[in-house]
Amino acid sequence: MRVKVYGGLHSGRVLELPDTARQNDHVTLPVELPAGEMFQPGRTHPSVHISKTTYQLLESAVAPHTKYLACVANPPRFIRSVTVPPVRATGITISL
């Protein structure tokens, strides 16, 4: 599926996502992307937005069934490990 990117370092780009992508999925793009299609002029000072490369797939409220990538102000944090407390002993850490 083709989507437009709004906000962040890659604002103005047109990207293709796999058909398995669903609304609210998150994607973190690399800082460097190959040259490609644009729907508006790119950033004049991309270095200002270099830390914003995480986007969320959203559906447009104006055009139903049209999806786009929106910059996430605070990227989601992933928990890398959890502790499973046993009945009467110290916890065991499991890496995910």
Domain span at residue 23 reads 2-95
pLDDT of res. 40 = 83
Tell me if 29 sits within 8 A of 46, measured CB to CB. Answer: no
Confidence grade of residue 77 (pLDDT, cut at 50, 70, 90): low
The domain total for the chain is 1
Give residue-wise pLDDT tens across range 15-36. Answer: 988 888 888 888 888 888 888 8
pLDDT of res. 32 = 87
CA atoms of 89 and 29, how far apart (whole Å): 43
- What is the pTM assigned to this prediction? 0.69
Q: Is the pLDDT of residue 79 over 70?
A: no
